[in-house]
Amino acid sequence: MQIPVSIAAALGFIALVGQAALNGVLVLSAIEGRRKGGEDLADAVVAGSQERLRPVLMTAALAAFGLVPAAMSKPMGAETQGRSPW
């Protein structure tokens, strides 16, 4: 079964990969900042991950909600050619 990939889907995938990388950088920077503050690795990982959980979840939710029109459209290319409900 072959599924055609549109240009819009490819751009969305590239944006999603970029957003995932940015979320990783956010978490790692929080952990690194805590390590420079003198915390040991285990405590820095737990606290840094908890500190950045909300921003990571918000960006992931934004990406998921942004892809709802593409997921609900039936014909190929309908997400870019149809009217926006907003």
What CA–CA distance (Å, rounded) separates 76 from 72? Answer: 11
- What would the pLDDT profile of 36-80 be if each residue is shown by its tens digit? 999 999 999 999 999 999 989 998 888 778 777 766 766 665 556
In this structure, what token pair is assigned to residue 60? 């992931």
**What are the boundaries of each domain within the chain?**
24-68
Positive or negative: CA dihedral 61, 66, 67, 72: positive
pLDDT of residue 36: 96
Q: Which residue has the tokens 């979320």?
A: 23
How far does CA 40 lie from the centroid of its chain?
28
pLDDT surpassing 70 at residue 24: yes
Residue 63: how many CA atoms within 13 Å on its side-chain side? Answer: 18
